[in-house]
Amino acid sequence: MELKNKKWSDEQFYKVREEVLNQWPTGKEIDFQEAADYLKKVPEHKNFSLKLKKAKEEGITLAQPRAGVALVDAHIELLTYLQDEGGADLLPSTIDSYTRQNRYNECEVGIKESEKAGRSLLNGFPGVNHGVKGCRKVFEAVNLPLQARHGTPDARLLTEIIHASGWTSNEGGGISYNIPYAKSVSLEKTILDWQYCDRVAGIYEEMGIKINREPFGPLTGTLVPPCISNSVAIIEGLLAAEQGVKNITLGYGQCGNLIQDVAAIRALVEQAEEYFKAYGYNDIELTTVFHQWMGGFPADESKAFGVISWGSATAALAGATKVIVKTPHEAVGIPTKEANAMGIKATKQTLNLLRGQRLPMSKELEAEIALIKAETKCILDKVFEVGNGDLAVGTVKAFEQGILDIPFAPSKFNAGVILPARDNNGAVRILNAGNIPFTKDILDFHRSLLEERGRYEGRDVAFQMVVDDIFAVGKGVLVGRPE
């Protein structure tokens, strides 16, 4: 099928759907009307879009963990614990890595081995293998909205199954679940595959069922400049809107400097709304998600709580609709349910203490918002230009030409020339912009801030700053000072 940013016709969609539902036996259980009837019975307090909308209206920030284990009953026990003991406002099911690579046979083995071992031997919930039956059992056992969180380049079958199971939100996108997650999956294919996933949500929306879509904001989660993650978020939001998605949560991964992080969220909302309006999507319900620090964590659990609380405070002061919670086990691996619950409780304590507070506007905050919007505009204007006005085609070409370039991404389709480093206040700046089409003023501004740090540290602006910054938070500081 030719790639273009155009809503799929029913003929296109249902032709592809036949192939999708045959990828694994559990796909055959799905009937659109039966699924729609089931979704129509989802009570309001378990609908993701409605809960986000309410939070936005009330001006509060919701807390959502990540969580997933191999077996259905253990997964229910985990989610119930995070709901009741942790106080989660929204629930995930973090999907395992085999499912993310469509390796369902290995999931089957993982499930059997987990049953034998009496513990989870998969790093998440194998939603495709458990099918609608297993996913509905999970959904019916909890009392909160449920979302699939994963990292799946081809999530078409997973999307069909989770939505047919009452899960009213799906994370991901054709860029954000490819470039940071895969090595050699073509962007053209994943943009097409995620148009399918968005179309599933669009069809349910046209049947009167509210489905939330959340592009994956943080990308590689490693010193990603706000203009890069905001550009990808807005692109995936526009692509989803074209397929009929109405309820969209755009996200951003914490970088650590308060002014820059608050500016990133404010710029994201303002600019996304500008683009939705400019392209005729006038009925989008837009919310935001702030991801607590996605980089290396301190192994010491008390220090980890410092990072978790700082991310919670920033999310609240930014006015984000939702914050994604980390745990004190982040540095070691999959958290126990107790550790996961502790992360949620620390997060909610901070959110509650800051309820109603926002970072006041200042000339620094205003300048940072303007800078991020100007940088993002440079990128998006070029994406539309190289695509001759077509956003999907433009996105593929933009990555080919390094116009869009995500730091430290594994994908061979990503230029990987961009180099970020922190300035003296810890804001992420750009040391090497590669082929990203910033204006000279913007490039000079970043350079001057990095040189200011160099003078302070008594060293040249160089790659060593990047390395030092990558390890800094794990070592207990934000800016990687020379040792």
Ligand X SMILES: CCC[C@H]1O[C@@H](n2cnc3c(N)ncnc32)[C@H](O)[C@@H]1O
- Quote the distance between the C-alpha of residue 349 and its chain's center: 23
Q: Which helix (H) or strand (E) holds 133?
A: helix 127-141
Report how far apart, in Å, the C-alpha atoms of 125 and of each of 74, 128, 179 are: 10, 9, 22
DSSP 122: S
Q: Does 75 bind ligand X (CB under 6 A)?
A: no
Inter-residue contact 242 to 248 (CB < 8 Å): no
- Tell me which of 100, 156, 213, 422 is the catalytic residue: 100
Considering only residues 16, 67, 308, 379, which one is a binding residue for ligand X as defined by CB under 6 A? Answer: 67
Nearer to ligand X, 205 or 330 (CB): 330
Nearer to ligand X, 168 or 176 (CB): 176
Residue 218: what residue type?
P
**Least spacing, CB of residue 66 vs ligand X, in Å:** 4
Q: Which two tokens stand for residue 17?
A: 């759907």
- Residue 97 sits at the vertex; the CA angle it makes with 93 and 103, to the nearest 5 degrees, is 115
Nearer to ligand X, 67 or 234 (CB): 67
Considering only residues 17, 46, 56, 66, which one is a binding residue for ligand X as defined by CB under 6 A? Answer: 66
**Least spacing, CB of residue 474 vs ligand X, in Å:** 13
Q: Does 326 bind ligand X (CB under 6 A)?
A: yes
Inter-residue contact 112 to 164 (CB < 8 Å): no
Find the radius of gyration of the CA atoms of the chain: 21
**Least spacing, CB of residue 357 vs ligand X, in Å:** 26
**Least spacing, CB of residue 72 vs ligand X, in Å:** 15
- Scan residues 85-124 and list those touching ligand X (CB under 6 A): 94, 123-124
DSSP 358: -
Rounded Cα distance, 200 and 74, in Å: 29
Considering only residues 171, 193, 261, 330, which one is a binding residue for ligand X as defined by CB under 6 A? Answer: 330
Q: Does 406 bind ligand X (CB under 6 A)?
A: no
Return the closest-CA partner of residue 472 out of 431, 434, 420. 420
Give me the phi and psi of 441, to 5 degrees please: -55, -45
Nearer to ligand X, 68 or 110 (CB): 68
Residue that has been written with the tokens 């090497």 in this structure: 432
Can you list the alpha helix ranges (DSSP code H) found in 319-459?
337-353, 363-386, 391-400, 440-457
Stretch of 31-39, 140-148, 274-282, 330-338 contacting ligand X, by CB under 6 A: 330-338
Residue 358 half-sphere exposure, CB side, CA atoms within 13 Å?
Answer: 15
Q: Does 339 bind ligand X (CB under 6 A)?
A: no
**Least spacing, CB of residue 452 vs ligand X, in Å:** 32
**Least spacing, CB of residue 331 vs ligand X, in Å:** 9
- Scan residues 124-143 and list those touching ligand X (CB under 6 A): 124
140 is catalytic: no
Rounded Cα distance, 408 and 222, in Å: 7
Q: How many residues bind ligand X (CB under 6 A)?
A: 10
Nearer to ligand X, 95 or 211 (CB): 95
Nearer to ligand X, 67 or 191 (CB): 67
481 is catalytic: no
Nearer to ligand X, 8 or 290 (CB): 290
- Tell me which of 66, 156, 171, 368 is the catalytic residue: 171
**Least spacing, CB of residue 160 vs ligand X, in Å:** 22
Q: Does 337 bind ligand X (CB under 6 A)?
A: no
Task: Concatenate the DSSP letters of all residues of 202-247 into one string.
Answer: HHHHHTT---EEE---STT-SS--HHHHHHHHHHHHHHHHHTT--E
> Residue numbers of the site for ligand X (CB under 6 A)?
66-68, 94, 123-124, 326, 330, 334-335
Residues with a catalytic annotation lie at 100, 171
